[in-house]
Chain A
Amino acid sequence: MSDDTPSVESGATTADQPPRPAGYRHLMRAVLYREYLVFVRYPANAVGGIVVALFFFGVLFYGGRMIAGRALTDSIEGIIVGYFLWTLSVGAYSSISNDIGSEVQWGTLERHVMTPFGFAPVALLKGVAKLVRTFLTSALILAVMLVMTGTALSLNVLTVVTVATLTVVSVLGLGFAAGGITVLYKRVGNWLNLLQFGFIVLISAPAFDLGWVRLLPLAHGSALLQRAMVDGTRLWEFSIPELALLVGVAAGYLAGGYLVFQVATRRARRLGVLGDY
């Protein structure tokens, strides 16, 4: 990425070159590099999120142990996996929906709309960056939770990362939809953030053993992640229909959320409220 910040000297060597077109490869590098710079230069938000998440887990764990005693300790593995998935979901959802809201407020979303790429691919790439960022912070939270509770989980990286990513992609789709609604109705971000508490229900949904619930975001993935991290099931040990449903739910909600975002942006242009914050 160092070539993204050329020195004045290196610029001088290209003085007479005609401009070359930028493709999606350049766009991907530019968007991901921007997200990386913001993350490393302004870590306060990420650190704050980690501290708050661990604080609430501490309250849940120590408070729960005082009240429920052994009952909580017996189910601590499931609670840790569920909490890990919840921090991942909240991180992915709120970062993309809030980020779209900020782009509207700054006027940068409007500016992207008239570029050759448009804003949608930029938002999608931002989603990828947010996902990577959220994985880093949630992995740290997971490590601290394991040390705090003295618990051991099966951490096959390929299995956990694949299942968790596909699970959270459905939430990323919800984030895009929420971002689209923010583009249309502006200051509804705080209300939409309440949705993240609904994620707790969806992550706990496998416990209810309802077939259709598996079609909701997070629910099926949560069940597979529990099996992967608690029971040690490897990715290739899941059945094809189980993996197909995981991929289908992820793709469906991502595509649906992206579509809602596109439709909302188009409607905002018709109503003249795209940048009207």
Chain B
Amino acid sequence: MTASESVGDIEASAERATQSRAEAATGDPAVVVDGLRKTFGSGPEAVTAVDGVSVAIERGSVVGLLGPNGAGKTTLIKSILGMVVPDEGDVRIGGVDARASPRTAYADVDAMLEGARNDYWRLTVRENLRYFATVSGVDPDSVAARHDRLLERLDLAGKADVAVRDLSRGMKQKVSLASVLAGGAGVVFLDEPTLGLDVESSRTLQRELRRLVAEENLTVILSSHDMDVVERVCDRVVIMSDGRVVADDTVEALLGSDDSHRLELTSADFDEALRGTLAEHPAVVATEGLDRGGRVELRADSDGLYALMADLDDRGVTLDDVRSVDRDLETAFVDLTGTDGPDP
């Protein structure tokens, strides 16, 4: 490849990024993953990290990727980004085949990866933004005003000329996010963006992320073990388990997707023998002994609930307290994956 052809490629990539923004108004998905599969190792030791995953990410949406440790989230993200070469399947970004034309496909994409610094700690915040804008194929002088806006939004303007190594962990995370957005990428992958942050820093980052998504019309694919982050920030959730997608729906749909009721019943009549009997009941998900009697947590549809109540009535049980347990994302996650929740 000649130098002029290479420069031409870079310029074509930058034009492609601008075009992608223009296409944002159309209904074409930003990212389409079709039948992606990746196996590490061979023979009996082989581990299939991603097993035939197909998913489409609409433009301007924030999609959460949830799953227990080892579910394949990071491998999926890295396979989409070309950092891991998949064994099978296709990835199209902005309609461009990522394997055939990676430069064009990734022109409008950037990523913040789990456990990585993502930027240079010995440079200042602003120097990082300028550097990563350049390597993203954008002349940093032409986006200087955007950088100022980003620094203001993320409350980093006062630290713009401070070396990243001298900042707190929360601020370093924000610098990572800012440097990912520095080149004006329209599609952004964030792998565990709040990992290791205290509650306040995490909430600030979530708030700023949501605001940036709205203002910049970003498409975000966010992986997190933190249900709160996913519930607060994402429009849609893809839940993975053992390398497969086990759910792909809006947050609202996942929170209320079935006709089940979760109740917590407390009664002095729930002695050890009765709790043992009730534990066998399909609607009962947990039992607990108290100083007087016990507590039973149940999940059932309307018919199941009436049947259990009739059974308790027949046994002469007097209920001291009945509480409704709200279905949250963690509950949905546990139901779908059969695990206790994403590992911290």
Chain A residues with a Cβ under 8 A of chain B? 3-6, 8, 10-24, 26-27, 29-30, 34, 37-38, 41-42, 106-108, 110-117, 122, 266, 269-272, 274-275
Within 8 Å by CB of B122, from A10, A16, A41, lies A41
Q: B81 — which chain A residues lie within 8 A by C-beta?
A: 114
Q: Shortest distance in angstroms between A232's beta carbon and chain B's nearest beta carbon?
A: 38
Tell me if A107 and B116 are in contact (CB < 8 A): yes
Q: Does B326 make an interface contact (CB < 8 A)?
A: no
Tell me if A115 and B130 are in contact (CB < 8 A): no
Q: What 1/0 mask marks residues of chain B from 86 to 126 whose CB sits below 8 Å from any chain A CB?
A: 00000000000000001100110111010111111011001
Q: A15 — which chain B residues lie within 8 A by C-beta?
A: 145
Tell me if A23 and B113 are in contact (CB < 8 A): no
> In the bound complex, how far is the Cα of B49 from the Cα of A38, in angstroms?
39
Q: B163 — which chain A residues lie within 8 A by C-beta?
A: 41
Q: B133 — which chain A residues lie within 8 A by C-beta?
A: 22
Q: Does B3 make an interface contact (CB < 8 A)?
A: yes
Tell me if A26 and B109 are in contact (CB < 8 A): no
Tell me if B38 and A272 are in contact (CB < 8 A): yes
Q: B14 — which chain A residues lie within 8 A by C-beta?
A: 19-22, 116
Q: A108 — which chain B residues lie within 8 A by C-beta?
A: 116-120
Q: A41 — which chain B residues lie within 8 A by C-beta?
A: 122, 163
Tell me if B138 and A106 are in contact (CB < 8 A): no
> In the bound complex, how far is the Cα of B139 from the Cα of A4, in angstroms?
11
Tell me if B7 and A24 are in contact (CB < 8 A): yes
Q: Shortest distance in angstroms between A154's beta carbon and chain B's nearest beta carbon?
A: 37
Tell me if A23 and B117 are in contact (CB < 8 A): no
In the complex where A27-B135, A272-B40, A274-B84 touch, is A6 in contact with B144 (Cβ < 8 A)? yes
In the complex where A5-B126, A37-B127, A42-B122 touch, is A275 in contact with B116 (Cβ < 8 A)? yes
Tell me if B138 and A115 are in contact (CB < 8 A): no
Q: B38 — which chain A residues lie within 8 A by C-beta?
A: 272
Q: Does B142 make an interface contact (CB < 8 A)?
A: yes
Tell me if B142 and A20 are in contact (CB < 8 A): yes
Q: How many A-B residue pairs have CB under 8 A?
A: 167
Q: Shortest distance in angstroms between B179's beta carbon and chain A's nearest beta carbon?
A: 9
Q: Shortest distance in angstroms between B117's beta carbon and chain A's nearest beta carbon?
A: 4
Q: Does B28 make an interface contact (CB < 8 A)?
A: no
Q: A4 — which chain B residues lie within 8 A by C-beta?
A: 127, 130, 140
> In the bound complex, how far is the Cα of B184 from the Cα of A22, in angstroms?
13
Tell me if A117 and B148 are in contact (CB < 8 A): no
> In the bound complex, how far is the Cα of B157 from the Cα of A106, in angstroms?
24
Q: A19 — which chain B residues lie within 8 A by C-beta?
A: 14, 17-18, 138-139, 142-143, 146, 183-184
Within 8 Å by CB of A122, from B123, B135, B143, lies B135
Tell me if A113 and B138 are in contact (CB < 8 A): no
Tell me if A272 and B78 are in contact (CB < 8 A): yes
Within 8 Å by CB of A22, from B6, B78, B139, lies B139
Q: Does B85 make an interface contact (CB < 8 A)?
A: yes
Which of A16, A17, A37, A115 has the most C-beta atoms of chain B within 10 angstroms of its own C-beta?
Answer: A115
Tell me if B122 and A21 are in contact (CB < 8 A): no
> In the bound complex, how far is the Cα of B115 from the Cα of A8, in angstroms?
31
Q: Does B199 make an interface contact (CB < 8 A)?
A: no
